[in-house]
Amino acid sequence: MEYAQKLITQIEDLKKQLDAIGGKQNQLNELNAKKAALKNDLAEVEKQINALEKELGGGSRRGSSKRAAGAAGGVRRPRMSADEISSKILNHLQQNRGGVSQREISAATGVSYPAVIKFLKANSSKVRTEGSRRSSRVFLQ
């Protein structure tokens, strides 16, 4: 009889523990739901901030250094595809048959200087470079 009483007591204790765990599970589920709602709210606020910054023409709060924003006027250059870069550079070279510097190409086309250099190296069959360092000029072949 004493053994049966111990079993009943243990069963009741286990039920209490399960109820406590169930309550904590519900609390955890509620907190996770609240977290998801707050993430959605945060995403909406960030969209609003980005829209206002775009209207004002300023950079974002994160990474608003000169390098990230671009040295020319604090406005980032838009991303360009390889075809876009190629057509802009080749069109500029066609318009300037006398040759232009790499920096002039970058400034006139809006293509970043490193992208201009990369393009010129990859397309040596389409363009030729004369001179060295600062006095080098780029021509269409």
pLDDT at 59: 52
Give me the count of residues in the chain: 141
pLDDT in 10s for each residue of the chain, 141 residues: 788 888 899 999 988 888 878 777 888 888 888 888 888 888 889 889 888 888 887 555 554 444 444 444 566 777 889 999 999 999 999 999 889 999 999 999 999 999 999 999 999 899 998 988 777 899 988
Prediction pTM value: 0.47
Q: Which residues contact 140 (CB under 8 A, 6 or more apart)?
A: 90, 93, 94, 97, 126, 127
